Amino acid sequence: MTWSDITTSPIDPSAVLARVGTPGDGAVALFLGTVRNANHGRPVGGMEYEGYRRMARDELAAIVSEAAARAGSDRVAAVHRLGELAVGETSVAVAVSTPHRAEAFEAARHVIEEIKKRLPVWKREHYLDGEAEWLEGRVPVGAGGCDAAGHGGVNRR
């Protein structure tokens, strides 16, 4: 079964790995996103993740389901953490197991790319100089964008 979660607790990679893998699978791919100590050369002390939690749960579940369908495997797991993270802590983990390796790599990559395109999560970098900034994000895929001036948005996909 696929599994996904949005959590404020620390992510344990072993627990995510344990969500995938069956006797018929020969390949497991795991991806971890971690908080870096610098961005564009500026020293970073930590990262604050904010999310639209209920929607993020739904969206992450949808991403995982899509990846599972593409990979032909229901052994796809993903979790995203919210809250204050220190440098080195894991913000996101994705695990996939499949009979053969190409599908595991492809599906894990797909999940993290879709997370970055669609998951309603934002992050504020806290710099060692005491400042903090919301990181520039991406207009979410799946969102048409709305124009109050009436130029119209595209339909939801």
Partner 1 sequence: MEVTVLLFAAHRERVGVPSAVVSLPDGSTVRTLLSRLRGLGGGWRDLPPAPAVAVNRRYASGDSVLADGDEVALIPPVAGG
Query: Does 34 engage in binding with a copy of itself (CB under 8 A)?
Result: yes
Most distant pair of Cα atoms in the chain: their distance: 57
Q: Interacting stretch for a copy of itself, rule CB under 8 A, among 23-31, 50-58, 72-80, 139-147? A: 23-31
Does 72 bind partner 1 (CB under 8 A)? Our answer is no
CB-based contact 119:60 (threshold 8 Å)? yes
Residues 91-120, interacting with partner 1 (CB under 8 A): 91-92, 112, 115-120
Cβ–Cβ < 8 Å for 92, 115: yes
Of 75, 72, 88, 69, the C-alpha closest to 4 is: 75
The CA distance from 94 to 106, in Å, is 12
What is the distance between the alpha carbons of residues 18 and 29, in angstroms, rounded to a whole number?
12
| Per-residue contact flags (x/-) with partner 1 for residues 128 to 157, judged by CB under 8 A | ------xxxxxxx-xxxxxxxxxxxxxxxx
Q: Are 70 and 2 in contact (CB under 8 A)?
A: no
In sequence order, the 6+-apart residues with CB closer than 8 A to the CB of 149 are none
Site for a copy of itself in 109-128 (CB under 8 A): 109, 112
Question: 142 Cβ partners below 8 Å, 6+ apart?
Answer: 117, 118, 156, 157
Taking CB under 8 A as the criterion, the residue among 80, 95, 96, 108 binding partner 1 is: 80
Please say which residue, 74 or 148, places its beta carbon nearer to partner 1.
Answer: 148
Q: Does 56 bind a copy of itself (CB under 8 A)?
A: no
30 touching a copy of itself, by CB under 8 A: yes
From the CB of 122, what's the least distance to partner 1, in Å? 4
Size of the site for a copy of itself (CB under 8 A): 30
Interacting residues with partner 1 (CB under 8 A): 33, 49-52, 54-56, 58, 80, 91-92, 112, 115-124, 134-140, 142-157
